[in-house]
């Protein structure tokens, strides 16, 4: 039987509606939530991402504050910007659009974000929380993947999960989220020998390698759940890391590219901002 194809746009729209409804219910008597988005330099792709995030915020009732600085800004000046938004009581979430110019040093900037406002989940305190099983915020792409698995009621406990790629923004966090849900997790990277030997074991296969068409049909177990995180431009179109044509007849569930995991990333960012907001206005545990 051909795989069920996940409609990430529809799930993202449902999440946005849920966030919007909750914010509407909170609107009376509370200030609006705020997300500060910091953009450095003139990279066109980054500017587009920031615009999309701002638009998504406005649509659900989150005030987005865009802070744009030139690529020539020094690390110290950028740290001053961060300290200001950290202290701003009307800002619930802070997002630093990556990549930053090389002279700034991403790590020092990400470490300067208040962990309680770190809706991207990149601060070491939040990454550490992920390790111990009590994360404050988790990066939105892995959260979006869990949302897909849960909305499709995919059993995780006791199953073999294989993650291809171990980046800090996708591979590592999804591996830990799956571990905490009691999957047996294998993490592969570009030095892994015989990648197919591992991928063929997967009941749940998450591919985040940035290699177009890396995973082919004969590398996937019959009935596997296949999550394709890759976003690659090839021959003028967007393709994933999974060869959809050969994998979808073998999988039970698959996320397409585009229209799979991608749209969920912004939706989960909105959800994280809602969590941060509720904590800050005293309606939930301080994250
Ligand atoms: P990255 O470059 O930081 O990491 C890639 C990982 O894949 C590395 O750990 C590397 O060892 C591994 N890898 C590379 N080639 C491999 C191979 N041949 N076999 C096995 N492992 C291999 O990338 P990233 O930031 O994690 O992103 C991965 C992909 O996901 C990219 O295509 C990116 O555009 C996409 N992405 C999508 C979203 C989304 O919203 N859907 C979010 C983040 C990243």
Measuring CA to CA, which residue among 152, 170, 183 is closest to residue 251?
152
Contact of 136 with 129, CB cutoff 8 Å: yes
Contact of 91 with 35, CB cutoff 8 Å: yes
> 141 C-alpha to center of ligand 1: Å?
12
Name the band, by pLDDT with cuts 50, 70 and 90, for residue 51. Answer: very high
pLDDT per residue as tens digits for the range 58-79: 999 999 999 999 999 999 999 9
- What's the rounded Cα separation, in Å, for the pair 94 and 110? 10
| Catalytic residue check, 120 | yes
Predicted local distance difference test score (pLDDT) of residue 285: 65
Atom in ligand 1 nearest the alpha carbon of residue 210: 32
Nearest CA to ligand 1 atom 18: 190
Ligand 1 pocket test, candidate residues 121, 165, 227, 262, most atoms within 8 A of CB: 165
Name the band, by pLDDT with cuts 50, 70 and 90, for residue 270. Answer: very high
Q: Taking the complete model, does pTM exceed 0.85, yes or no?
A: yes
Residues with Cβ within 6 A of ligand 1?
141, 164-167, 169-171, 188-190, 192, 195, 208-211, 214, 229-232, 261-262, 265
Atom in ligand 1 nearest the alpha carbon of residue 265: 40
Q: Calculate mean pLDDT across residues 201-221.
A: 98
Q: Calculate mean pLDDT across residues 216-231.
A: 98
In the chain, domain spans = 30-114, 140-263
> 195 C-alpha to center of ligand 1: Å?
15
> 230 C-alpha to center of ligand 1: Å?
6
pLDDT per residue as tens digits for the range 93-148: 999 999 999 999 999 999 999 999 999 999 999 999 999 998 889 999 999 999 99
Nearest CA to ligand 1 atom 24: 167
Average pLDDT, the chain: 96
> 77 C-alpha to center of ligand 1: Å?
31
* Catalytic pick among 53, 117, 172, 278: 53
Predicted local distance difference test score (pLDDT) of residue 205: 99
Number of Cβ within 10 Å of residue 118's Cβ equals 26
Share of the chain above pLDDT 90, in %: 94
Q: Look at residue 179 and tell me whether its pLDDT is greater than 60.
A: yes
Nearest CA to ligand 1 atom 39: 262
Name the band, by pLDDT with cuts 50, 70 and 90, for residue 284. Answer: confident
Predicted local distance difference test score (pLDDT) of residue 167: 97
Predicted local distance difference test score (pLDDT) of residue 287: 54
pLDDT per residue as tens digits for the range 109-124: 999 999 999 999 999 9
Predicted local distance difference test score (pLDDT) of residue 135: 80
Tell me the C-alpha to C-alpha distance, in Å, between residue 128 and each of 122, 138, 172, 173: 10, 10, 11, 10
> 88 C-alpha to center of ligand 1: Å?
34
Q: Cis omega (within 30 of 0) on the bond before 279?
A: no
Predicted local distance difference test score (pLDDT) of residue 29: 87
Which class does domain 30-114 fall in?
alpha beta
Q: Look at residue 192 and tell me whether its pLDDT is greater than 80.
A: yes
- What's the rounded Cα separation, in Å, for the pair 78 and 68? 10
* Catalytic pick among 92, 117, 118, 120: 120
- What's the rounded Cα separation, in Å, for the pair 229 and 260? 8
Provide CATH code, domain 140-263.
Answer: 3.40.50.720
Q: Calculate mean pLDDT across residues 30-49.
A: 95
Atom in ligand 1 nearest the alpha carbon of residue 262: 41
Q: Calculate mean pLDDT across residues 214-232.
A: 98
């Amino acid at each position: 039987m051909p795989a069920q194809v996940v409609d990430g746009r529809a799930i993202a729209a449902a999440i946005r509606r849920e966030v919007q409804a909750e914010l509407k219910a909170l609107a009376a008597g509370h200030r609006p939530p705020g997300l500060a988005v910091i953009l450095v330099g003139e990279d066109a792709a980054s500017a587009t991402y920031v615009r999309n995030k701002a638009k998504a915020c406005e649509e659900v009732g989150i005030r987005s504050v865009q802070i744009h600085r030139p690529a020539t800004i020094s690390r110290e000046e950028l740290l001053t910007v961060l300290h200001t938004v950290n202290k701003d009581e009307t800002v619930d979430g802070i997002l630093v659009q990556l990549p930053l110019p090389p002279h700034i040093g991403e790590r020092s900037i990400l470490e300067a974000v208040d962990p309680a406002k770190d809706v991207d989940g990149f601060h070491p305190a939040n990454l550490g929380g992920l390790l111990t099983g009590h994360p404050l915020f988790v990066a939105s792409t892995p959260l979006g993947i869990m949302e897909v698995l849960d909305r499709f009621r995919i059993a995780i406990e006791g199953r073999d999960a294989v993650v291809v790629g171990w980046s800090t923004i996708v591979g590592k966090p999804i591996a830990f989220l799956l571990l905490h849900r009691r999957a047996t997790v294998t993490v592969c990277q570009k030095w892994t020998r015989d990648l197919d030997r591992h991928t063929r074991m997967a009941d749940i296969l998450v591919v985040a390698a940035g290699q177009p068409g890396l995973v082919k049909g004969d590398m996937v177990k019959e009935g596997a759940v296949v999550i394709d995180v890759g976003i690659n431009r090839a021959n003028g179109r967007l393709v994933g890391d999974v060869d959809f044509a050969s994998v979808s007849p073998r999988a039970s569930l698959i996320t397409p590219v585009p229209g799979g995991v991608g749209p969920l990333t912004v939706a989960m960012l909105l959800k994280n901002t809602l969590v941060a907001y509720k904590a800050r206005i005293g309606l939930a545990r301080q994250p």
